[in-house]
Amino acid sequence: MKYYSTNKQSSLTSFKEATILGQAPDRGLFFPERIPQVDKGLIVKISDFSDEEIAYRVIAPYVGSEIPEEKLRQIVSKTVNFPIPLIQVNDSIFSLELFHGPTLAFKDIGARFMSRCLGYFVKDDSRKVTVLVATSGDTGGAVANGFYNVDGVEVVILYPSGKVSPVQEKQLTTLGNNIHALEVTGTFDNCQQMVKQAFADKELTQKKFLTSANSINVARWLPQQFYYFFAYKQWLEKDSPLVISVPSGNFGNICAGILAMQSGLPVDHFIAACNVNDIVSDYLETQELKPRQAVATLSNAMDVGNPSNFVRILEIFQHQFPALKSKLSSFSITDAETESVIDEVFKKYQYTLDPHGAVGYLALQRYLAEHSNAKGIFLETAHPVKFPEAVERATGQKIKLPEHISEIMDREKISTVISPEYEALRNFLLETL
C-alpha cells in the first residue's frame, strides 16, 4: 500500500515512511492510494472471529509488507487487549464504551498501535525520534502512556493551559522521563498550528527527527477503524439500518469510521456530533468550510475550530458533496443541552454519560426522531471520571475514581509553560531536548 498527500504535491510513500513523517512534506495529510475492501466472509460471520483477528484483517492491507505478519499480529494483540463493550441504554440507542483502556479514553487504541509501529520502525535507527503532538484533552494522556519509556523516542505534548480536565492534565504531566508536557497559554488551535509550523520548518527538521502522534498520523488514525467492527460484531439488530453518532472535534475518529464503512462495514449513516465548535455542521448546510477560533466547552476534547481530518473525509468521497451528504449528518449541541441530557439519561436509564458521550447521545436521539425505523450507536469516548465537575453537577452523584487514576492524582505535575507563539516551541525543541 502506498500513501499520497491530500495536497497532491508530494510523492507516494510507504506506510513506514508515512508513520515516521507524520505529515506529508507539502503539509497535506497522507491518504491510502486505494481503500481495501474487507472480506465479505468476515462481515457475514463476524461473531466467529476474535477481536484480534478482526483487527489484524482490517489493518493488514494498509501496512502491507512493512511489518512482518507475526510482528503485526503481536502489535494488534497488545493494542486491543481490553474490553470494548456495546451497552444498551434504551430500546433504540446503544453505547460503545471506548474508555476501558489504560487512560480511560478511545485514543488508547490509536496511541498503542502507533507507538508499537514506530518503535519497530526506528529500533535500528541511530537518530533519536521526537514525537510532537497537540492535545485538546485525551490524546496527550494516551500518547504519553503509549510511548512512555520507548527506547529512542522523546515525546513533546502541547496542551492549552486551563482547558483540559484535572485527570487529563495529570495523565500527560506526571510521567516525566521521555515525556515532556508543554502548557500553552492559548487554545488547542494554537497548539495544533505550532505543531504544523514545526513540521514545515526545514531548518528544524534537518536538526531534529520529528514525527506526529496526532490523528493526522496514519498509524494513529487507521486503527480507529477497529472498534467500529467490534461494535458491529456485538450489534444484534442487524436487520435495522445502523446509524453511528461520533463525538467529533478534529474528525479523525469519525473519519476512521467512514473509512471502515467504505471498505465494507454495514453502516447506513454517520452523525458528526459537535459542540458549538460546529464548522462542519455549517459546511453541510452551505458547502463552505470556514475555520474559526475555537470556543471552550464542557466537551473540551472537541473544542476544535479547524478540524484537520475533515480533508480526509472529503477525500473518501472524492470531494463529491452529494455523496458525502447522503452518508453524513451533523448536529450542534450546547453546554446547557449537554448537562441536561447527562441528567436525563442518568435518571431515566441509570447510565452515566461523560460530556462528549452526551453530545453523541443527543445528536443520535435527534437523528432517530426523524428516522423512526433506525437504531443507533453513540461512542462513549471517555470515562465520566475525567470530567467530574460537569457530570457530578448534572447527576448529583459523586464519581468514584478508578484505583490507578486515584494514584496519579497525587503525583506532582511536571510541565513547562510557554506562550502560543511558534518560536517558543522551536526554542524548546532546539535548546532543551
User: Which are the catalytic amino acids?
Assistant: 107
Cβ within 8 Å of residue 3, ≥6 positions away: 12, 13, 14, 15, 18, 30, 31, 32, 33, 218
The beta strand positions in 143-263, using DSSP E, are 153-160, 179-184, 209-212, 242-247
Cα–Cα dist 214/143, whole Å: 9
Cα–Cα dist 6/8, whole Å: 5
Q: Under DSSP, is residue 375 helix (H, G, I), strand (E, B) or coil?
A: strand
Handedness of CA 70, 71, 72, 78 (dihedral sign): positive
Cβ within 8 Å of residue 326, ≥6 positions away: none
Q: Under DSSP, is residue 22 helix (H, G, I), strand (E, B) or coil?
A: coil
The beta strand positions in 82-219, using DSSP E, are 86-88, 93-97, 129-134, 153-160, 179-184, 209-212
The beta strand positions in 218-259, using DSSP E, are 242-247
Query: What's the maximum distance between 2 C-alpha atoms anywhere in the chain?
Result: 60
Cα–Cα dist 286/279, whole Å: 10
